[in-house]
Amino acid sequence: MTLEEERLLLRVTNLTKYYDLIIGCRNISFDLYRGEVLGIVGESGSGKSTLLNCISARMEPSAGMVEYDTRAEGLKDLFQLSEAERRMLMRTDWGFVHQNPCDGLRMGVSAGANIGERLMAVGARVYGDIRESASAWLTRVEFDTDRMDHLPRTFSGGMQQRVQIARNLVTEPRLVFMDEPTGGLDVSVQARLLDLLRKLVDDLGLSAIIVTHDLTVARMLSHRLIVMRGGEVVESGLTDQVLDDPQHPYSQLLVSSILQA
Amino acid sequence: MTKQYSSVSLAVKDLSKTFVLHEQGGTKLPVLNAFDMQVLGGECVALVGPSGAGKSTLLKCIYANYLSDSGSIRINLDDTTHDIRSAPPREIVRLRKSTIGYVSQFLRVIPRVSSLDVVGEPLRSIGVDERLASDKARELLTRLNIPERLWPLPPATFSGGEQQRVNIARGFAIDYPVLLLDEPTAALDRANGEVVIELINEAKDRGAAIIGIFHDEEVRDAVATSVAEVAPIQRAA
Amino acid sequence: MNEQTIPASGTPASGKTGYNFAYLDEQTKRMIRRTILKAVSIPGYQVPFGSREMPLPYGWGTGGIQVTASVIGPDDTLKVIDQGADDTTNAVSIRRFFARTAGVATTDETGEATVIQTRHRIPEEPLKHGQILVYQVPIPEPLRWLEPRESETRKMHALQEYGVMYVRLYEDISKYGHISTAYDYPVIVNSRYLMRPSPIPKFDNPKMDNNPALQLFGAGREKRIYAVPPYTSVKSLDFKDYPFEIQKWEEDCALCGAENSFLDEIIIDDQGGRMFVCSDSDYCQKRREAGYRGKDPSAPRGNELLDDAAESA
């Protein structure tokens, strides 16, 4: 094992989020190490999206702590950082892949500009370099670069998702959050996208936290799983262990509910 | 892919495993009860016992695919001891990359990936150069009689036997110090069965600790250095 | 800040109109002056203000008029231009408005004016210390095009997150091979705030940089005022490999022969005839008075031609 792999990247401690009196998620704790991919599964309303929003600093938790290994200063409490630092983190060291590409892309500007934006946001000021980078990333996500000057709204859902992924990866983030990254896509498109994601995560040594209700997605992408229900973690462990030998009644129900294709 | 270790052993002590089926009103299915076994480097222990006795369950517990209830599973690799039952998931992921190999008769199909890449992937994932990984994959696929025209194709489209051989090739791509084999030769023809026997014996010769389930007695006799019995437990309803 | 630049204007207007001096009541002017002071203190930052209903519709310069009304004093001389010309409807109306409500002297000459209200141009003649240039601004927010949420754009300004602005320039280059944005070209003021210079041609952008005059920007509908104090750096955004460039013309002004002034294309007949003339009418006329001539031999000496063109249009 290398030192990098042993490096703690994100630590969540007793995270709780209430919406008024309703519980979003309660008492969640886990660690994420470099290169680890964590899946969060559970049905709609189980609190997985709330959890994702809190740990990605898009929403402030009611209680608990989220610490991240910042490049400059090591482990820092996200909500103690200034907003400027937090936003900087979000557009450089983190990525966020939304289920709906509309939420993660600027639909009114070209694919190339969508990718270039993150570079320009961190000070890239040479057009030629930005374009080259955008083109290289589009190739990497298997997107036809002939269409890099077209608007995302002229693309299919799968293509939009590829652009969104490239946009997130162009700054070489260490941690990528994904919210149902293949939701809403055709099964065949979904399979290819999954395969791409799996390859990218492997090749880049990315750490990722993936929220999904699709256990196939979880099995293919994540090393480790958290099963949520009613805002709480009911089971966690190695992905194939949780799926092949689920312990909690709810996990067993979840696993037994999948149709075997 | 040359051997990276000098000594290995695997010890299972007091291992118990009971399935609790919450879907079936909490039915308890005890499968292993205080099971003990040890395998040293260079040994191949064949698990025997009637169907349903828990042979596969034992392998899966060792691979951490199943959670065991009590006891210990320890791998001593050179000077390090890895305790499977207490290892955090990321350590298991790491151990599976280069320490514990697992070959079953079923290939978990990865869509769209070519057979050559399926076989070479374990090597690449531990940082072996693309070309070397590909060379090794070719060598194994050739040995297992997968026609070269199939190499660029994803195994999803192959026959059962071809898929199984791709899976075996993948399982032997890395010289794992610990190998878990769940009926690797089931449904293989004689010629290919022979190749698998060779591969197992080669692994044994380089000092791997191997546990396997072999229904075919001929295969078992050809590879096993000893036999461990997994006896069925009386079920408490 | 020089007190002369914002003269006290407490003097009521002559009883002729019945309005307070320069139309706005003194409390409103006080409020707007405080806004202006804040704007001057934070160059390029958009300061909200309580924009008043004015006796002309939004889009006709209500922001500029309120700013002018708040800074103008009885001793000031006002010049108003629209697209560089003193004699267009808007310019004439606004000039007359202040002549009547404030009784101030008006002029067409850039050098004579102490306050110049403008729409879409900066005069060609360099401005001087002590002058105030008041811009009419339709949309003050440079990030509006990319980010519709005001809450978000304010945050982006606060955190100086301006990378997204380059996206627009990027799109220009990838579409047209060069930065085609020709007016309202975004600038960074005092190395800090991203600012929309109002729809002036980018030709005028370099004039904003380090200008001795005080530049005030008023957006009436959007209720924002911002400022560039004298001698403040104003840099146009660009890429290293696609540096900022201003418009160039192959022709010189047909009337005065000026080579470095912003030219308007004027259609002179229905046979495809056209000519290029200075958009800054005062500048053009001054040059002609000084004896400069363009290639058009029939070029009149004064503004007659422009008047003719306007009439025939």
Q: Check CB contact under 8 Å for A84 and C175.
A: no
pLDDT of residue C300: 55
CA-based nearest distance A192→chain B, Å: 7
Phi/psi for B163 (5° steps) reads -60, -40
The verdict on A4 touching B (C-beta cutoff 8 Å) is: no
Confidence band for B101, pLDDT divided at 50, 70 and 90:
very high
Q: Check CB contact under 8 Å for B125 and A202.
A: yes
pLDDT tens digits for range A186-212: 888 888 888 888 888 888 889 999 999
By DSSP bridging, strand A207-212 and strand C214-219 are unpaired
Q: Check CB contact under 8 Å for C170 and A120.
A: yes
pLDDT > 60? residue C86: yes
> Can you spell out the DSSP letters for C79-91?
EEEETTBSSSHHH
C278 is catalytic: yes
Bigger pLDDT: B1 or A240?
A: A240
pLDDT tens digits for range C19-40: 899 999 999 999 999 999 999 9
pLDDT tens digits for range C215-271: 999 999 999 999 999 999 999 999 999 999 999 999 999 999 999 999 999 998 899
Phi/psi for B122 (5° steps) reads -60, -35
pLDDT of residue C299: 55
Out of A62-71, A188-197, B20-29, which region has the weakest mean confidence (pLDDT)? A188-197
Q: Do chains C and B touch (3 or more CB pairs under 8 A)?
A: no
How many beta-carbon contacts under 8 Å exist across A and B? Answer: 56
With contacts defined as CB-CB under 8 Å, which chain A residues touch C238?
A: 125
Catalytic residue among C63, C64, C257, C284: C284
Mean pLDDT of B147-164: 90
> Which alpha helices (DSSP H) does A25-156 contain, by range?
48-55, 83-92, 101-104, 111-121, 127-140
pLDDT > 70? residue C7: no
pLDDT > 80? residue C302: no
CA-based nearest distance A109→chain C, Å: 7
- CB distance A226 to A186 below 8 Å: no
Mean pLDDT of B37-57: 94
pLDDT > 50? residue C313: no
Mean pLDDT of B193-211: 95
pLDDT of residue C2: 41
pLDDT > 70? residue C305: no
pLDDT > 80? residue C82: yes
Q: Check CB contact under 8 Å for C170 and A130.
A: yes
pLDDT > 50? residue A261: no
Instruction: Note the residue count of chain A.
Output: 261
With contacts defined as CB-CB under 8 Å, which chain A residues touch C168?
A: 109
Q: Check CB contact under 8 Å for B113 and A220.
A: no
pLDDT of residue C242: 96
Phi/psi for A25 (5° steps) reads -155, 155
With contacts defined as CB-CB under 8 Å, which chain A residues touch B60?
A: 244-245
ipTM score of complex: 0.90
- CB distance B222 to B185 below 8 Å: no
Query: How far is residue B162's CA from residue B216's CA, in Å, rounded to a whole number?
Result: 19
Structure tokens at A210: 């993936």
* Region class of C145: left (phi > 0), else alpha (psi between -120 and 50), else beta: alpha
End-to-end CA distance of chain A: 37
Best mutation target among C161, C167, C168 (most A Cβ atoms within 10 Å) is: C167
pLDDT of residue C178: 93
Confidence band for C135, pLDDT divided at 50, 70 and 90:
very high
C291 is catalytic: no
pLDDT tens digits for range A136-149: 999 999 999 999 99
Return the partners of chain C (3 or more C-beta pairs < 8 Å).
A
Share of chain B above pLDDT 90, in %: 74
Structure tokens at A158: 């799968």
C44 is catalytic: yes
pLDDT of residue B236: 46
Greatest mean pLDDT range, A196-205, B3-12, B180-189, C236-245 = C236-245
With contacts defined as CB-CB under 8 Å, which chain A residues touch C164?
A: 117, 120-121
- CB distance B12 to B184 below 8 Å: no
C256 is catalytic: yes
C153-180: b (≥16 Cβ within 10 Å) or e: beebbeeebbbbbbbbbbbbbbeeeebe
Bigger pLDDT: C146 or A19?
A: A19
Mean pLDDT of C118-138: 97
pLDDT of residue A246: 95
Mean pLDDT of B94-102: 93
pLDDT of residue C59: 86
> Can you spell out the DSSP letters for A132-160?
HHHHHHHHHTT--GGGTTS-GGGS-HHHH
C177 is catalytic: no
Best mutation target among B67, B78, B104 (most A Cβ atoms within 10 Å) is: B67
* Region class of C157: left (phi > 0), else alpha (psi between -120 and 50), else beta: alpha
pLDDT > 80? residue C298: no
Helix (H, G, I), strand (E, B) or coil at B130: helix
Chain A contacts in chain B segment 166-225 (CB below 8 A): none
- CB distance B201 to B20 below 8 Å: no
Confidence band for B161, pLDDT divided at 50, 70 and 90:
confident
Average per-residue pLDDT in chain B?
91
- CB distance A105 to A164 below 8 Å: yes
With contacts defined as CB-CB under 8 Å, which chain A residues touch B94?
A: 1, 5
Mean pLDDT of A218-245: 95
Residues paired with C183 in a beta bridge: C201
The verdict on B133 touching A (C-beta cutoff 8 Å) is: no
Q: Check CB contact under 8 Å for A123 and C163.
A: yes
Regarding pTM above 0.95, the answer is: no
Q: Check CB contact under 8 Å for B92 and A238.
A: yes
- CB distance C200 to C219 below 8 Å: no
pLDDT of residue A210: 96
Out of A9-13, A35-39, A117-121, B230-234, which region has the weakest mean confidence (pLDDT)? B230-234
Confidence band for A3, pLDDT divided at 50, 70 and 90:
low
Place of tokens 């040293």: B40
Catalytic residue among C73, C84, C218, C256: C256
pLDDT of residue B3: 58
Best mutation target among A122, A127, A163 (most C Cβ atoms within 10 Å) is: A127
pLDDT of residue B237: 42
pLDDT tens digits for range B111-121: 778 999 999 98
CA-based nearest distance A85→chain C, Å: 9
Query: How far is residue C214's CA from residue C229's CA, in Å, rounded to a whole number?
Result: 5
pLDDT of residue B104: 83
Which residues, 6 or more positions from B41, have their beta carbon under 8 angstroms from its beta carbon? B7, B8, B9, B177, B207, B208, B209
Mean pLDDT of B53-74: 95
